[in-house]
Chain A
Amino acid sequence: MEILSQLFCLLVVEDNPGLNRDLKALLEIEIPGTLVLSALTVREAFLNLDDPLLPKPDLAILDLRLPEVPGAVKKIHPVLAKRVTELGVPSILMSGYLGSEDVESFIRDRKLHDPPVKVISKRDPDYFDQLQATIREFFIHKSSAAVEQQLSAVFGHSRSLAQPGSTGTAEIMSLQRQILDYWDYLSEATRTLAGKWFTVFETVDGQRSIRLELPRG
């Protein structure tokens, strides 16, 4: 497992083994640079969340009715949602039982205490497209915010960087790396902002490259 090269980490908790496997495979293909951790039960989800060797997920996709352990009765486990909230991991909730009382009551409670990024019905025919679009949008928002924050830290007026001196090699190189890594997930507005300083281009061998430029216009 190559964790270092991953930009994002998703945790998928889905008890249907076939769906779980398909979701993991599809998300890894459709959202490049994403490490997908998957769990079939609540206990397995906790093992993923609490493993110090695994990265903290950027986003959790939680099926609502789950067994605690393999073979156990499926039900809603508020304790899992609570743990995800404690870790500061935003979540997408999905269920095949939207409309049933226990599910709706749980969702109302989550909306009050820790609003989910989105609630998706697994019965919608386009539910995977919805899921994929929501995740992508979430990552674009997150990456763009991170890059804009770093642009401001390096070039803005409120300096909060490590280097106390006046040379900017470390900061500018770190920023260049960040922009290149997240380029596919940056909003147009963030790309325009970064473009005030940097030009991102393809090299002759098809690699993406970045450089400071003299500004145009």
Chain B
Amino acid sequence: MSNAIKMTGSQQRRVVSVNDRPVFELQWTTRTGRGTETERRNGVSNESLIEEYAYALQKHFCLLTGPTFGWNEAETSRHTPYPVLIRDLGPWILGTATTDGHQLPYLAFSCRNPELSQNPGAGKRSDVVLHELVHLFQFQTDTWRYWPLRNRWGTADPNWWLHEATALAVEAELAVHVSWYPWLWTWATQPQRSLESDATGAMAAPFIQYLMRRFGRPFVASIYRISESSAPTMRGTELLDAAIRVQTTNSQSDDGSHLSDLFLDYCVEAVAPLPDQTFLDPSITQIVGRRLMTAHVNELPFEISNSESTIDHLGCRYIEISRPLHGRRFKLELIHPSTGERCVLHTAVVELDEHGKHLQKTYWAPDLCAGSLSLILIPHELTKSFILTIVNIAYGSGWERFDNLPLQLRMVTEEQ
């Protein structure tokens, strides 16, 4: 890796190379005591800041383009280095990647000293660089370039949640100074809301991290590697679905898994992880797992009626049924809401012993789309509880999204 410094008046430039290839050009102005207010605010007084950014850019670029994450040469290389502006970005923003669709994407990072920034994250610059590099690579892909709504940039883009969630998930995997907790909290307090409902990506980031751990870290890049011909018409959920299909389809069979299957697995694992084979960040179950519960059932009959609980598309609800059972068989009855021809509520029941160990897992995908569906549960003698996970899988083009679906559930002993 080599670096070169060029001087242009008060503006400074420094090329950051990776494997002797110039990849970034840092641009900044030197702060002196005599300049205008604008120059003082935007200038860099301490060259160690430039060193810090240069090091972080090299390190994370190598990591993301290496075998671990697998962003490839074509997706990340260009004829001229990426401009990287070091300037004032206000008291809160430490970094950004940006493009306007006409010019090539570039990066900007804050020149503020930690003590000048109101952002308590000052000092986590390296993590911000990592996050913004993921955005930079996203902007280079055909998926983003051909995105049909790309003129609705940023939070106005209904698919923005995916771009943020992938950047957050990569950050959560590698970042040193970033707390994962606020991101988990967003999802943990309202799992019934759609993954797509939050443009910050916080709702979807734990799920993307789950997929990354299940399929490997290159999964994130693969989401953006869907063929050029199909990318222009695809929504965020469809890109994710297609990437999952690629991972789960083999040469013998094209019967791979869908986003809905993986989403149900993820929701189940969030509250009832398999002890020896979990793909979730342990903090999800340790910190927030039990907060996800919609209801705890201690006696029968139990009923959730129409208006009490709803589920948005790609949202989930949990019911914990703890030992009211005394060895008796009981019946779980779900009234599937009227959603036309599509069965959008899928469920799984996990039976746990007193140590939280899985005794049995039953998937329950109704084949009728309206009316009452029932499942008989027979507690094992070691059964401490059942955890019922219900997901709404209404997503994708050609299908209407069903949000705010009322959940109607009834549990009785079999004789009742």
Contacts and interface: CB of A to CB of B under 8 A. Distances in A.
Interface of A: 154-157, 159, 161-177, 180, 196, 203, 205, 207, 209-215, 217
Contact of A154 (B88, B90, B132): B90
B411 interface: no
Interface string B134-157: 010000000000000001111110
B11 A176 contact: no
B94 A167 contact: yes
A212 B156 contact: no
Given A157-B118, A162-B199, A166-B121, A203 B36 contact: no
Contact of A171 (B38, B39, B154, B163): B154
Contact of A214 (B42, B128, B132): B42
Contacts of A174: 153-156
Most buried by B among A155, A159, A168, A174: A168
Interface of B: 11, 27-29, 36, 38-39, 42, 85, 87-100, 102-103, 106, 108, 118-119, 121, 124, 128, 131-132, 135, 151-156, 160, 163-164, 167, 178, 182, 198-200, 202
A213 B83 CA distance: 10
B27 to A, nearest CB: 6
Given A196-B38, A215-B39, A217-B36, A169 B155 contact: no
Nearest to B119: A166
B154 A173 contact: yes
Contact of A213 (B85, B128, B135): B85
Contacts of B167: 167, 169
B154 A172 contact: yes
Given A167-B132, A214-B28, A209 B92 contact: no
Contact of A166 (B11, B38, B93, B97): B93
Contact of A169 (B88, B135, B182, B202): B135
A156 B90 contact: yes
B206 to A, nearest CB: 15
A211 B372 CA distance: 57
Contacts of B131: 165, 167
Contacts of B39: 215, 217
Contact of A177 (B89, B152, B202): B152
Contacts of A210: 100
Contact of B87 (A163, A166, A180, A212): A212
B100 A212 contact: no
A171 B153 CA distance: 9
5 contacts: A157-B118, A162-B200, A177-B100, A211-B100, A212-B108
A109 B88 CA distance: 50
Contacts of B27: 214
Contacts of A164: 182, 200, 202
Contacts of A156: 90-91
Contacts of A166: 92-95, 119, 121, 124, 128
A170 B103 contact: no
Nearest 9 CB-CB pairings of A with B: A174-B154, A168-B93, A155-B90, A173-B154, A173-B153, A166-B94, A166-B121, A168-B96, A177-B153
A155 B89 contact: yes
Contacts of B98: 169, 172-173, 176, 211-212
Contact of B95 (A167, A177, A180, A205): A167
Given A172-B98, A173-B98, A211 B153 contact: no
Most buried by A among B90, B108, B152, B178: B90
Given A209-B100, A214-B87, A215-B38, 18 more contacts: A156-B91, A159-B91, A162-B200, A166-B95, A169-B96, A169-B154, A171-B93, A171-B154, A172-B93, A176-B154, A203-B102, A209-B103, A210-B100, A211-B98, A211-B106, A212-B98, A214-B85, A217-B38
A123 to B, nearest CB: 43
Nearest to A207: B102
A36 B316 CA distance: 43
A170 B11 contact: no
A166 B202 CA distance: 13
A203 B167 CA distance: 30
A168 B121 CA distance: 13
A174 B36 CA distance: 29
A162 B90 contact: no
Contacts of B156: 174, 177
Nearest to B152: A177
A176 B92 contact: no
Given A162-B199, A177-B153, A170 B164 contact: yes
A211 B199 CA distance: 23
Given A163-B200, A169-B135, A203-B102, A214 B154 contact: no
A51 to B, nearest CB: 21
Contacts of A172: 93, 96, 98, 108, 154
Nearest to A152: B90
B393 to A, nearest CB: 26
A168 B27 CA distance: 19
Nearest to B108: A212
A175 B89 CA distance: 13
B226 to A, nearest CB: 21
B94 A170 contact: no
A34 B42 CA distance: 38
Most buried by B among A171, A211, A217: A211
Most buried by A among B96, B118, B135: B96
B36 A170 contact: no
A217 B39 CA distance: 6
Contact of B132 (A157, A162, A169, A176): A169
